[in-house]
Every structure is written in C-alpha cells, then in structure tokens.
Amino acid sequence: MATEKEKMLAQKPYIASDPELAAERILAQKTCFQINSTSPELTEERNQLLSSLFGSTKNTFYIEPPFHCDYGYNISIGENFYANYNCVILDCAEVIIGDNVMLAPNVSIFTAGHPIDAEKRNQGWEYAIPVSIGNNVWIGGNTVINPGISIGDNTIIGSGSVLTKDIPAGVIAAGNPCKVIRQVSDEDKLYYFKQRKF
C-alpha cells in the first residue's frame, strides 16, 4: 500500500495531514524561518540553507527573504536564478526552473490543488501536479502560476498574471487568465521599455 507521500509524488490524490508529510512541512518551515531570519549581508549562509532545502541548485542564485515553500526537496533551480521578495512555492510536486530565470516580488508557484467536490475537499484530499519554467524567463510581480503549468524558454510574463494554461517559448504574455500578447522580436533588442532606446 502506497504512503501518502508516495501518492503525492505520483500525482495521485493524497491526505496532506498525514504525519510524515506534516513533519516534512515543519522541517521546511523551520529552514525557511532560518533563511528569513538571517542578516541581509549573510548571503552565503542563506544560500547554504537554501541548498540544503532544495532538491538541486546550481552555483549562482539569489533569493530575497522572505521565502516560503512546503517541502523544498521538490524544487530545482538553474544557474543565475533570482527571486525577489515574498516568493512562495508550494512544491508538493516538482517545480523545475531553468537558467537565468528572474521572479519579481510576490510571485507564487502552486503545484497543490484541492478537489472541486466539496465532500472530498472537506475530507482533506489534495493533489499535486508539477510546474516547469524554461530558461531566460522573467516573471512579473504578483503573478500566480497554477498546478501543471509549463512556461517556455525566453518568455516574459507580465505583472499580475494568473497562469491557467501553458505559455509557449519566446512570447510576452499577461492577464487573468494569462494569454499571449505577442512574440519577442529582434526589435526588442533596440529598446528597454516602451520604445525607450538603449
């Protein structure tokens, strides 16, 4: 018989109040508390704590406290990752983030969900579906990424977006629900913001 953790990792319905999972969340919360309590100049100490918490990290990354997650071990970040203040990652399933990804403040990544049926929801059932973010992605502030979403390489997500569907590579997308606005083009190399030239 599969444990609740095995069910969670297999993307099957599971009970999140299971003692093993509850203990793992407390451990992650304790580590996040340590990370968020470090003095601002102690970057190396914070990164050591983050490396011990995450499933995998590369050599260069920076996360502005406060940061919060459910388990930590399901998070993998690429080289040159940056997350601004108040990043929340509910990593009940894998969250795989590529190289050169930038998250603005208040970005939330959710792999966890609850049943639509109220009776099942009230019984404590949950599910978790992985999220993947490609290379060279910039995600604007107050964005919510829902379970099962994939974002392609070289894409920009505008502030305040709510992602309910996959977003392809090489586009600018925004809105609630988030939709593609246009392709990133060679002309974008000439300007840094609204026709303001480099």
Could you give the residue numbers annotated as active site? 114
Rounded distance between C-alpha atoms, residue 101 and residue 132, angstroms? 12
- By residue count, the chain amounts to 198
DSSP secondary structure string for all residues of 106-152: T-EEE-EE--SSHHHHHTTEEEE--EEE-TT-EE-TT-EE-TT-EE-
| Contact by Cβ (8 Å): 58, 77 | yes
Q: Which two tokens stand for residue 174?
A: 């925004």
